Amino acid sequence: MLTFIKRLQIGFLGMLVFGLCVADDLPYKVGTVTQVSSIRTKEGHFLDYWTFLSTSWRQEMEEAKKQGIVVSYAIFQATPKAPHEPDLYLVVEYPNMAAFDSIDEKMTAIDKKIWGSLKQASQSDSDREAIRTVLGSELVRQLNFKN
């Protein structure tokens, strides 16, 4: 007679094999994961926000890229049609979903390196609220054709 633990192990093994078989049957391969943040700069503060992006944010992204946390990053300007629409999109590409498992710890270490302390990093976050509004953020995953 099988013990509960043995049955559980056999069940997990079966699920793993099934998952691998299903993944092989998919007509695509999953690729990188991209986070797109929609930003609206407050009236008269575009250059203030750009200064932050071109200094601190860029340093943070470059360090994350160097550590392999981030694959790439970009900023796109948009022409909003209404006051509640973004004028900037911040786009950050990550290698995969697993990158998010320990991202808080990794990015906190980078923040400490750039800002000197979490208190200074936190102050910078609150300062940005005066010059921009984050309208939302979305994660999208690239799907690649199988050869």
Give the DSSP letter of residue 54. I
**Structural domain includes residue 9:** no
Binned at pLDDT 50, 70 and 90, residue 8 comes out as very low
**Structural domain includes residue 15:** no
**Structural domain includes residue 105:** yes
Tens of pLDDT, residue by residue over 68-125, are 999 999 999 999 999 899 999 999 999 999 999 989 999 988 988 887 766 665 665 6
Domain encompassing residue 71: 28-145
CATH code of the domain containing 96: 3.30.70.100
Total of domains in the chain: 1
Cβ atoms 87, 77 nearer than 8 A:
yes
Task: Output the pLDDT for position 54.
Answer: 95
Tens of pLDDT, residue by residue over 29-47, are 999 999 999 999 999 999 9
**pTM, entire model:** 0.78
